[in-house]
Amino acid sequence: MIRPMHLIRLIQINFVLMRYAINRPVLKKQPWWLRTLSYLNPLSFFNRGKTRGESIRLALESLGPIFVKFGQVLSTRRDLLPDDIADELAKLQDRVPPFPSDKAIQIIETTYKKKIRELFHTFDDAPLASASIAQVHSATLHDGSEVIVKVLRPKVHKIIQKDIALLYSVAKMTERFWAQGKRLRPVALVAEFEQTIIDELDLMREAANASQLRRNFIDSDIMYVPKVYWKFSKTNVMVMERIYGIPIADMATLKAKKTNMKKLAERGVSIFFTQVFRDSFFHADMHPGNLFVDISNPEDPRYIGVDFGIMGSLAPEDQRYLAENLLAFFHRDYRRIAILHIESGWVPADTRIDQFEAMIRTVSEPIFEKPFGDISFGQLLLRLFQTAERFNMEIQPQLMLLQKTLLYVEGLGRQLYPELDLWTTAKPFMENWMREQHSLKNIASESFKDWQTTAEKVLKTPRLVYDVLNKANTQQQILQPHRITTVTQQERKSSKKPFFLGAGLGLLIVSGISFLTHQTTITTTSHWQWAVIATGGLFVLLSLIAPSRS
């Protein structure tokens, strides 16, 4: 049900759309009945002299942070939008109208309870960049370090909470009144989006994200992540190392400096897949406003990332299923794709594999007949989801960020290098990752991470088995009261046999895993490893010499 506060917000949205979107520049090439609306709309006269791109951008800016985020996503999809609209929406990435600098200084001084000159040697009043959630000022610390100061917009929490509440109402109505509503899981998608944007409002969380990503790429020659100054980091203000680079959207400068655009585009794809599969921790807001390029060596360009408020992560099972699906697409193994979707629970378990396989083939084959460089992965996903409706395929909220980021990467890569072959660039990475996941060394390494817990369970297993058997034997004796069993000293000794055998084998298995994981040799084996081997061998020996029960 729409609440009064939601109704007021809907009226505001309608007012903005009437002023900026329902006008002749935007509707010029639309059907006649839509163009007629622009003549009947009295507010359209306030928007004279604006192009359609400007009108759409101004509408999104006026509607607030959530709508600006939507515009940022659209700005990278030049395969879906005309250039004039895409160029205007690109301004939403870091050129949203700033809030007053004196307000930013007031927030900083209130947060630290110090005057601005006590905190920084210099502080630039003019914002360096301004986005939907926060704006950035350049500054210098008293030790001479050049930094940027990021400050949240005033009252941004309240604005976002109102729009999120409205989205929840719309999502619940969608689930209730639309036949496809439950399959699309709109409430779950809004919840996922809410968690993402709420996390972005906590700058301490962003600082932690930046630190983690910096560690992941600390020795990388393809990406640099700036340093966080934790002493100055708070929930609404954060301070980071200032970086210098060419904005990735400045194609003219990159080309004038003779940057290797092919390598730059391919490295963007490599960074994405490395974050998703190697680290399971990826920058989920990779629009051009958050990426710069270090071209100190134009033939060997390096990415510089900023703005780490939105990060994504995948569970190991989602990583594996995603990787196997992508590889199956690379090899056109449509049956494997159908089976994976059913195994992962993305489609109902009673789905007929042959029918689902045929549907995937029908969608994919025409696309794969194109040169790889012309294939849009985003378009393929869209077609698959549309066609999968008849199989009741559910939207996966945990993959929403990944899908958005992949669209960013693909759109940006094609801008940098139109001949970019996303599939061929990604395929070797995926194949190597899958090989590593199934290697004996990786399996042993994963097992050894919890070797203490595993060893404890192995050692307890014989005793647990003995207790279960002993309990069953006791129950049998209760059911047979006339049978009297005498346990001799010999039998008591023999009951220890399975315990010694299980414990010994368990210790020897743990030792073997240790050798495989650390590639240990006889000369480098530590004293504790020899002790575990000796104890395991002794337990196995005791199990062999213990008398058997006749």
Least confident of 70-84, 115-129, 277-291, 300-314: 70-84
| 43 has pLDDT over 50 | yes
First to last CA, the chain: 76
Distance CA 25, CA 45 (A): 11
Asked whether 126 and 92 are in contact (CB, 8 A), the reply is no
Residue 436: pLDDT band (50, 70, 90) is confident
The predicted model gives 490-496 an average pLDDT of 50
| 448 has pLDDT over 70 | no
| 225 has pLDDT over 80 | yes
pLDDT at residue 550, rounded to an integer: 45
Residue 209: pLDDT band (50, 70, 90) is very high
pLDDT at residue 104, rounded to an integer: 94
Residue 258: pLDDT band (50, 70, 90) is very high
Asked whether 53 and 350 are in contact (CB, 8 A), the reply is no
Is residue 292 helix, strand or coil? Answer: strand
pLDDT at residue 316, rounded to an integer: 82
| 528 has pLDDT over 60 | no
- Name the residue with tokens 């979107």: 21
CA 145, 147, 151: angle at the middle one, nearest 5? 150
Locate 250 and state its tokens. Answer: 């400045």
Known catalytic membership, residue 285: yes
pTM over 0.95: no
Distance CA 54, CA 328 (A): 43
The predicted model gives 277-300 an average pLDDT of 89
Average pLDDT along the chain: 77
| 273 has pLDDT over 70 | yes
Asked whether 506 and 455 are in contact (CB, 8 A), the reply is yes
Q: Are strands 237-241 and 146-152 parallel, antiparallel or unpaired?
A: antiparallel
The predicted model gives 402-409 an average pLDDT of 76
| 180 has pLDDT over 70 | no
- Could you say which of 285, 294, 421, 450 is catalytic? 285
| 23 has pLDDT over 70 | no
pLDDT at residue 522, rounded to an integer: 47
% the chain with pLDDT above 90: 23
Residue 298: pLDDT band (50, 70, 90) is very high
Distance CA 192, CA 396 (A): 10
| 188 has pLDDT over 60 | yes
Query: Between these two residues, 205 and 321, which has the higher pLDDT value?
Result: 205
Locate 213 and state its tokens. Answer: 């990503």
| 523 has pLDDT over 50 | no
The predicted model gives 238-252 an average pLDDT of 93
Distance CA 539, CA 521 (A): 24
Residue 421: pLDDT band (50, 70, 90) is confident
The predicted model gives 62-85 an average pLDDT of 71
Separation in Å, CA 207 to CA 201, 263, 382: 12, 29, 34
pLDDT at residue 517, rounded to an integer: 47
